[in-house]
Amino acid sequence: MKISILGTGGWGLALGKTLCENGHEVVLWTPSTEEARLLAVEKENKDKLPGVGLPSELVYLSNMAEATEDADMLIFAVPSQFMESTAKQLGECKTPEKVPLVVSATKGISEDSLKRMSEIVLSHVKWLSEEEIAVFSGPTHAEEVARSVYTAIVVASKSEICAKIIQDTFSSKTLRVYTSQDVVGVELCGSVKNVMAIASGIIDGLEFGVGDNTKAALITRGQAEICRLGGALGASQRTFAGLAGIGDLIVTCMSHHSRNRFVGEQIGRGKALSEVLSGMKMVAEGVPTARSAYALAKKHGVEMPIVNAIYEVLFEQKNPREAIEELMTRELKAE
């Protein structure tokens, strides 16, 4: 297949490497002509995937129309903040003679519209239908996928045929792909777990009064909050017990690769959010998603005390320890 990947961050490059090794023709798009040139020459991105050599067969282009021409499959792997502008740019390209299958591998919820990433794509790419788009999520740190660490992931689409084609395209000896039809649940899990990862990092950053017990409680009760929001939005509860749900939540809250956990850890150590973000080379999706999840919970009347607490810590300068104490002393209730 000819596959176009929009985005040359760690995740886009890891997916490009995986698909190239599976025998596909892969083109990666970046809006930066200079970045395209450097990737083609150096065959490595030392900032986003240090120590990972990229296949020489990968092609890098900065022209959207050229990068997506005649593609059989098109993958969005840009940060959520750039999904709308990227989808809009794709939508402005001429209607393709053959409509490619489209995969959103981006995790997040729009701060402005509260739309999921697949909804943003569909709103701007008019030649695409709901049966031709899928979403990709699960416990998949790019740093490990790029190094062929054994990994499992979920692809969800309303079309079983679409999901099966994508499953066959990505699957390898080290990447096992499962299918689902719960697009809402898979996208929601992949987004809100990043907020919980910030909370997990705060626990790691505090010096006393927290430990493994605290983190286990956070993950469990955080999962309950994500399930409640999913139920209000029509997601399948089964999804939250799977790879896209508890699987991704565990790895994002526990792994040293997690940028969101890192952000929380630095805040737990007393740094301001602006200071932490200014020192990062990659995007921590949990920060904007904290706003979106907070707004979604309010909109649908869903109780999400952990999300509310993280929102207050990030954007209202609440002391993290005070936030934990308030969570612990809420009105007692049955589980």
User: Which of the residues are catalytic?
Assistant: 193
The one-letter amino acid code at 14 reads: A
Angular region, 108: left φ>0, alpha ψ -120 to 50, beta rest: left
Q: Is 39 helix (H, G, I), strand (E, B) or coil?
A: helix
Nearest to 71 by CA among 106, 40, 99: 99
Contact 38, 6 (CB under 8 A): no
E strand residue ranges, the chain: 2-6, 25-29, 59-61, 73-76, 101-104, 133-137, 151-156, 175-180
Distance CA 279, CA 275 (A): 7
Distance CA 183, CA 196 (A): 21
Sheet containing strand 59-61, strands side by side = 59-61, 25-29, 2-6, 73-76, 101-104, 133-137, 151-156, 175-180
Contact 240, 223 (CB under 8 A): yes
Where do the H-state alpha helices sit in 113-182?
Answer: 117-124, 142-145, 160-170
Distance CA 180, CA 176 (A): 14
Where do the H-state alpha helices sit in 128-159?
Answer: 142-145
Query: What is the DSSP code (8-state) at residue 109?
Result: B
Nearest to 278 by CA among 263, 257, 256, 261: 263
Angular region, 58: left φ>0, alpha ψ -120 to 50, beta rest: beta
